[in-house]
Amino acid sequence: MTAEQRVATVYAGTSVFNMVHEVVTGMRKAQSQRLRRSPLKYVPGAVGIVDLVDQSSTMVDESISRVVSVTAEVLSPIMRLMTPVDSAPIDGSRRGAAVLAAIGAAVGDSLANDRRTQSLVPELDLRADGNSITTEEFARRSRGSAQTVVVFLHGLGCTELNWSPEVIGGAGPARAALIRYPTGSSIADNGDEFAMLLDELLRAMPECQRLVLVGHSMGGLVARRAIEVNPYVADRVTDLITLGSPHGGSPIEKGAQAALLTLGSFAATKPLARLGHRRSAGIKDLRHGAIRAEDWGGHDPDTTWRDRTRAIPLPDHVNHYAVAASWPEDSSGWKSGLIGDGAVRQASAKDDDVEAVAGGSNRYVTVLESSSHLSLMSHPEVAKLIAGVVSSQSEEL
């Protein structure tokens, strides 16, 4: 772990403590208010005792917050001095990358917006053997095999290290490009950044005539956003393969929002709702599959439930291979339709909303039975699908 990351960890830990402390304090104050309105108000001196306890507790809470903040300020320079100059970044290892990916998925946008914790959030970039590489370096490594590039985008809370070698090997003779990105950021922001990266990649590789985008879960939505916002990139994309992507939203995020709206309607549990609303913008976008800022209709995602997203078909020249997983063995049964792959329902993964709007002449659906959401990143049938897509137009290039 580098010095910057050690310091960032201290401040991130402080932030988490303060969030939990805020919840405890808020619930205590709500309880005090409830006691003031209870029959105790008719007991002489009872309200005064409640006020005295509340004031004392508030002083203790403020003292704790100050102590934690001062401790962080004292520890930060010490941690910086104690860290060897040649320390490797925590995300250089598989385990470290997984830890940061999980934290980033939960509150990555908050970490990115604070300069003290930004080093814990990865930038969207190309990766090779877990390390960041430039588009120029990727182009140099790809000479002689770059007419087709297959780009892999992971899902929420994952990294490019979660792809199995077999699935990546499905790219065959084409060049495989692995992307890592901060899944806690909004899908729109990641899609815009991804489009710029692909633009740079294509300009560094003029011999590349075809892009095949493979996105797992959130990655499929990020890829879709990139196709939509950059015509130059869209012209080179011939195929989009989405693996369990919540085009129509995720029931888990919808359920979480419903629960938080309920908690927020009661004074005693409102602090818990505020804590839940601190989850990342990336997670909130998965509620309805929002890939544009305008998909929220100018409303705060924390206070709205209505789906305002627009189903927009892909360009006519882009083939969409939508892969849905079915946790139950029988994908045609009602259980499979309800449960899906455990995280995304089949109708959402199949992109049925676009089918209803414009038909699916260039959309091909595959359902993999007895498969979970994460298994799609290592499923042998996915590797076969990628290989078939890559080879389908190779003779034309």
- pLDDT band, residue 144 (cuts 50/70/90): low
Q: What is the mean pLDDT of residues 227-234?
A: 96
The tokens 């879960």 sit on which residue? 217
CA dist 83 and 77 (Å) reads 10
Q: What's the confidence (pLDDT) of residue 397?
A: 38
> Which residues, in sequence order, are CB contacts of 35 under 8 Å at separation 6+?
50
CA dist 103 and 94 (Å) reads 14
The tokens 């939960």 sit on which residue? 106
Spell 4-37 as b/e; 16+ CB within 10 A means b. bbbbbbbbbebbebbeeebbebbbbbbebeebee
What rounded mean pLDDT belongs to the chain? 89
CA dist 309 and 133 (Å) reads 35
- pLDDT band, residue 393 (cuts 50/70/90): low
Q: Indicate if the pLDDT at residue 5 is higher than 50.
A: yes
Task: Tell which wins on pLDDT, 7 or 368.
Answer: 368
3-state secondary structure of 204: helix
Q: Indicate if the pLDDT at residue 19 is higher than 90.
A: no
Q: Indicate if the pLDDT at residue 160 is higher than 50.
A: yes
Q: Indicate if the pLDDT at residue 40 is higher than 80.
A: no
Kindly report, residue by residue over 349-362, the tens digit of the pLDDT: 999 887 666 666 68
Q: Indicate if the pLDDT at residue 92 is higher than 70.
A: yes
State the pTM of this model. 0.89
Least confident of 209-213, 273-277, 322-326, 334-338: 334-338
Tokens matching residue 34? 């409830």
Q: Is the dihedral of CA 272, 277, 283, 288 positive or negative?
A: positive
Q: Indicate if the pLDDT at residue 75 is higher than 90.
A: no
